[in-house]
Amino acid sequence: MAVEAPEIAPRSDQSDLLTERLLHSAAEVFAEQGYERAGVAEIARRAGVTTGAIYSRYSGKAELLLDAANHHVSDEIQHLLRTEIQNEPATQVLASLGAHLLDELPAGAGLFLEAIVAGRRDPELAAAIRGRVEAEDERLAELMRKATSDGLLDPELDELATVRLAHAIGFGMALTRSIGLDLPDADAWTTIINRVISAVGMPQNPPDSKPGDEL
């Protein structure tokens, strides 16, 4: 079963180009000045538009920052989460997601980290971030349910706990990269990711043992 991508309303080419300019300017200003100091007027000036053009598309800085982050983040992970998986085990898709955490950090990841920090002081931004992450929660949960129904994951494991573990690993690696810590060798990282996935799989009993026997 495929995880459906959300429908996006079509826009004219002119509207797309204007939005592209707005998001590019927003990314520059947020990166240079941070969320709190960034001004909508400066973003509009760099994009060559009025502030009204921004407010006709966005409710405010919070929505603009998240859209700029989404626009600049590679869509490879989102593509994997939405791909057809009936011919590929869900655990293999999860392993692919884990392996991609060593990829070069996309520019939008820095913007998203900026949003997370700023969200601690801005309730509107915090709510927008929660909405974004909750949408990814459901896509990850879909993979978990698929893997469980295929007999690959232990059904006794709590779904939310498993999803939170996946996000903790992903967010943790983003922070690791953003502050310049050393990264593991790709083969070593793949081994660890596969071990984690195996650990949440169906428990295996030794051939001659019965459930409940002491090992």
Architecture of domain 73-199: Orthogonal Bundle (1.10)
For residues 172 and 63, give the distance between their C-alpha atoms in angstroms, rounded to a whole number. 24
The whole-number pLDDT of residue 201 equals 79
Per-residue pLDDT of 120-142, as tens digits, reads 888 888 888 888 888 888 888 98
The whole-number pLDDT of residue 111 equals 78
User: What are the extents of the domains in the chain?
Assistant: 13-59, 73-199
DSSP secondary structure letter of residue 8: -
Q: Judge contact between 28 and 72, C-beta under 8 A.
A: no
The whole-number pLDDT of residue 12 equals 42
- 80 pLDDT exceeds 60? no
Instruction: Estimate the share of the chain in helix, then strand, then coil, as percent rounded to the nearest 5.
Output: 65, 0, 30
Q: What is the mean pLDDT of the chain?
A: 77
Architecture of domain 13-59: Orthogonal Bundle (1.10)
Measure Cα distances from 199 to 4, 88, 204 in Å.
28, 20, 10
Measure Cα distances from 85 to 65, 96, 150, 153 in Å.
32, 12, 12, 16
- 96 pLDDT exceeds 50? yes
Q: Residue 112 — very low, low, confident or very high, per pLDDT cuts 50/70/90?
A: confident
30 class by beta-carbon count within 10 Å (0-12 exposed, 13-18 middle, 19+ buried): buried
3-class state of residue 152 by DSSP? coil
Q: Judge contact between 46 and 14, C-beta under 8 A.
A: no
For residues 45 and 3, give the distance between their C-alpha atoms in angstroms, rounded to a whole number. 39
For residues 137 and 166, give the distance between their C-alpha atoms in angstroms, rounded to a whole number. 9
For residues 111 and 66, give the distance between their C-alpha atoms in angstroms, rounded to a whole number. 8
Per-residue pLDDT of 161-206, as tens digits, reads 988 988 888 888 878 887 889 999 989 998 998 888 888 877 765 4
Per-residue pLDDT of 64-79, as tens digits, reads 988 887 776 544 445 4
For residues 157 and 200, give the distance between their C-alpha atoms in angstroms, rounded to a whole number. 8
The pLDDT of 41-62, averaged and rounded, is 92
- 57 pLDDT exceeds 70? yes
Residues 6+ apart with CB under 8 A from 55: 40
